[in-house]
Amino acid sequence: MPDLPNTLVSLLAALGLGVLIGAVRQRQHPDTLAGLRTHGLAALLGAIAYTLGEPVFLVLLALVAGLVLISYWRQSAQDIGLTGEVALVLTVLLGALSCRQPVLAVGLAVVTASLLYAKATLHRFAQQVLSEREVHDGLVLLAAALVILPLLPDHPIGPYRSLNPATLWKLAVLVMAISALGHTALRVIGNRWGLAVAGFFAGYVSSTAAVAGFGQRVREVPALLRPAVAAALLSNLASLSLFLPVLLAVAPTLLPIIAPELIAAGAVLLLGGLLGLRGNGDGVLAPTAEQRMFRVDQALAFVAIIAVVLMASAAMNAWLGPHGALIAAVVAALAELHAAVATLGQLFQQGVLDAPQARWGLLGLLAASTLAKSGVAFISGGRAYGLRVATGLVAMLATVVATILFFLTASH
């Protein structure tokens, strides 16, 4: 009897998820194979059968499958879909799952009900909105992320063991994904806000990849120069905000010291992003469904640049030894800013750096990152895009320098 409360919760979860799926099915198809009551009973039967043991559950599953086959054979020729039958079998399985993981079972039931409810929207999206070109690019992206990436070695190789193939390929996938995100945002939201929204959230993944991805968009549609620059600056703002959790985890005492510099840098990036939204892209047609979502060759070129930077960083670290840790961190910021910030925090926490040195160290990291991203912007988006992105990032650096000098002067 001590297990009775857990069993009761599982049975109630099974009944609830079955009723939810059944309600959606019956609302859409009043004459459906299985409606609210049938799905509720099927889920409850699945939970009870699973509780009684695996043989009983397998017999029930075979019985339900037989009933589903009979129903399918009796359907009219005009209705050859399998959604109702699959939904009923899934309800039984979710009822059984509720005996082990009721929260997961209910969550999957909500997802199932949402998919069933969005039938018309999903059909219209697949048949009328999504193009053949977008399907092709989506499959390439999925293959890169789910097929190629797991096959690559996830350990350092090459000169000074500085290159991780899996990490480098992740960056290539990120560039392609961010370019695809920008394409999708432009089609759904429009030119004025689409790239800005995509840019900000892309910055939480990789601001360098975002700069490269939006540069690709500028090469394809030069008239999107201003919104793409705004998106690039906003991606750097999002990346800057990630300093907060990194430093809170590594060196919480450093955060209040460099907070003024971070706030000043963030304000400049925000201002640059907002200025880029003024009147941008309104007269430009959004990308069509037949345009490429990303370019694989440009993503690979971006990764090649990062690989060269990583090898240079590892070489300097090997030559300078532990006394050159800060210089090595600055060089590492050319490729990965947040890892370099973590190194800066560790050096401060260990007493290697004092507060003024940490401030200048932060400037060095931001300067290295600015140099790398400016180069990526010129290569990916051309001279006009590169100049504007570099100007915004240099303005951020100038503000950080002014803030550091102000506080150092005030402290004396």
**What distance in Å separates the CA atoms of residue 195 and residue 225, rounded to the nearest whole number?**
11
Count of CB atoms within 10 A of residue 103's CB? 10
CB 302 within 8 A of CB 337: no
Amino acid identity, residue 141? Answer: L
Handedness of CA 235, 237, 239, 245 (dihedral sign): negative
Give φ, ψ of 157 to 5 degrees.
-140, 180
pLDDT digits (tens, 9 = 90+) for 24-42: 888 877 656 667 888 888 8
Nearest-angstrom CA–CA distance, 388 and 402: 21
Q: Is residue 210 packed enough to be buried (19+ CB in 10 Å), middle (13-18) or exposed (0-12)?
A: buried
Q: How far apart are CA 373 and CA 98, in angstroms?
A: 49
Instruction: Give me the percent of the chain exceeding a pLDDT of 70.
Output: 79
Give the pLDDT confidence score for residue 113 in this predicted structure: 87
| C-beta separation of 175 from 212 below 8 A | yes
Q: What pLDDT digit, counting tens, does each position of 132-142 carry? A: 777 788 888 88
Q: Which token pair is 122? A: 């999903």
Q: What is the pLDDT of residues 219-265, one digit of tens each?
A: 888 888 888 898 899 989 988 987 887 778 778 888 899 999 999 99
Q: Can you tell me the mean pLDDT for 285-294?
A: 60
In this structure, the number of other CB atoms found within 10 A of the CB of residue 362 comes to 24
Residue 385's pLDDT is 93
pTM exceeds 0.85 for this model: no
**Angle, CA 315 vertex, CA 311 and CA 319 arms, to 5°:** 175
Q: Is the pLDDT of residue 285 over 50?
A: no
Q: What is the pLDDT of residues 316-346, one digit of tens each?
A: 667 765 456 667 777 777 777 877 787 788 7
Is-contact 336 239, C-beta < 8 A? Answer: no
User: In angstroms, what is the C-alpha Rg of the chain?
Assistant: 28
